[in-house]
Amino acid sequence: MDSTRPVHIGRQALYDERGAVAAYELLFRDGPDVHHATVRDSAATSRVIVEAFTAFGIEELVGDKPCFVNLTREFLVGELPLPFPPGRVGLELMPGLPVDDDLVAAVAALNAQGHRLALDAFTGDPATSRLLPHVHYAKVDMLAGDRHTIARIVEQCRRIPRIRLVAQRVENHELLELAQRLRFQLFQGHVLSRPHLVTTHALNPTRLARVRLLTELAAEDVDLDRAVATIERDPALAVRILRGVNAAANGLKQPVSSIFQAVVLLGIPQVRQWATLMMVADFAGGDESVLTDAVVRARMCQTVAERRGSHDGATAFTIGLLSAIGDLLGGDAGALTAQLPLTPDVAEAVVHGRGELGAVLGDVRSYQRGGGGDLGEDLLAALRWTNASLAEPEPAAR
């Protein structure tokens, strides 16, 4: 089984009255030739969130523009976590949700927290209309009826001045002209642009590490060292945590030099939310032997650095891990580090082998490739540590 997997996300632009891109909607796609969402459930929503913020990086997908993610009821009422604070990510309520008191209260609470909310495919029905006072956007399906029907829906929305009207499924020029006459503020549809498929490759996560981490994070008093150790044993999870620090929605731009520092910056609640979503979104298993090799390199870097007198073993571990991940993703370590909030010396060590820890990485990589050296004891120690770590039983929650 390949150690990487293709990751696909659909992205469709929303345009303002001047024809400029104002925002994007992120859409679930489960294959490179899929033009429509084949699934619209919580698992699909989780995958969009996880991949957008960790496999790609939100800035790579949408630049400095806001974006919208479709949400199921489970996310809205708190049964599944939202792993980002209020900000540039708009929460789009999927059409057809049963509207009851619990949903109305949940949407009102999200609004009060500062989230931007949008009603998808609003038709003016009385049940969904209960949500209007708590949302900021109403998306109106331009194919849902004749121009009189559309005009009635628009008039209903305009009774709440703050609501911005989005004309969706604008499939031809006649519908675009109608939307302009009705003074919609945003426009989305095939006559303007079709959804664009964006693809990257991500490491297949190891489910065992994910379960261990959730167990660690569920403890009443979280052992931070144990939690970090669990993350370090899963290369896919480690790089996602680092990208989580760099997600624009978190507002965290401070460079980090180790996974431990990234976890401290994110905070245990945020790490717990990411790990929970990754469990929901995790459909593919990874090649355990290849991923184990990545952890061995990381541990060797730490062992060699500490043996040579370095006091920065955690940073050496991170450098080794990132270099191995770069190899698994095609050898482009520069493209990988450019998306991570790394300190300059760490990035230079990973990409160019510069500095004291860069020299350690070079020696370890050379030894692994059969280039010789006196690192045999370090390799054996790293193998023993990795095998013992990956074979240990899941820690019990307190």
pLDDT in single tens digits along all 398 residues of the chain: 445 567 778 899 999 999 999 999 998 776 555 444 444 567 777 778 877 777 677 777 888 899 999 898 888 998 888 877 888 899 999 888 999 999 999 999 999 999 999 999 999 999 999 999 999 999 999 998 999 999 999 999 999 999 999 999 999 999 999 999 999 999 999 999 988 888 776 655 565 566 567 657 756 677 888 888 888 877 777 877 787 776 644 555 678 888 888 888 888 877 776 665 565 555 334 455 666 777 789 889 999 999 999 878 888 988 988 888 788 767 667 777 776 768 889 999 999 999 999 999 999 999 988 877 789 899 998 888 777 655 544 433 33
Question: What is the rounded distance in angstroms from the CA atom of residue 188 to the CA atom of residue 106?
Answer: 27
Name residue 164's beta-bridge partners: 137
CA angle 158, 159, 161 (to 5 degrees): 65
Environment class of 383 (CB within 10 Å of its CB; exposed 0-12, middle 13-18, buried 19+): middle
Q: What is the structure's pLDDT at 225?
A: 86
The rounded Cα 110 to chain-centroid distance in angstroms is: 20
Q: What is the structure's pLDDT at 106?
A: 96
Phi, psi dihedrals of residue 118, rounded to the nearest 5°: -135, 140
Residue with tokens 């057809």: 96
Q: What is the structure's pLDDT at 311?
A: 74
Cα-only R_g, the chain: 24
Q: What is the structure's pLDDT at 163?
A: 97
Question: Beta-carbon neighbour count of residue 105 at 10 Å?
Answer: 12
Name residue 202's beta-bridge partners: 5
- Structure-token pair, residue 191: 């006559």
Environment class of 83 (CB within 10 Å of its CB; exposed 0-12, middle 13-18, buried 19+): buried
- Structure-token pair, residue 189: 């549809």
pTM of the complete model: 0.65
- Structure-token pair, residue 35: 């033009």
Closest by Cα among 94, 97, 121, 117 to 107: 117
Q: What is the structure's pLDDT at 210?
A: 64
Cα-based distances in Å from 334 to 2, 7, 348, 349, 355: 22, 20, 9, 11, 16
Q: What is the structure's pLDDT at 173?
A: 95
Question: What is the rounded distance in angstroms from the CA atom of residue 186 to the CA atom of residue 140?
Answer: 10
Name residue 118's beta-bridge partners: 92, 137
Q: What is the structure's pLDDT at 303?
A: 93
Alpha carbon dihedral 206, 212, 216, 218, in 10-degree steps, equals: 90
Name residue 137's beta-bridge partners: 118, 164
Closest by Cα among 127, 51, 222 to 230: 222
Q: What domains can you pick out in the chain, each with its CATH number?
A: 4-199 (3.20.20.450), 204-391 (1.10.3210.10)
Q: What is the structure's pLDDT at 21?
A: 94
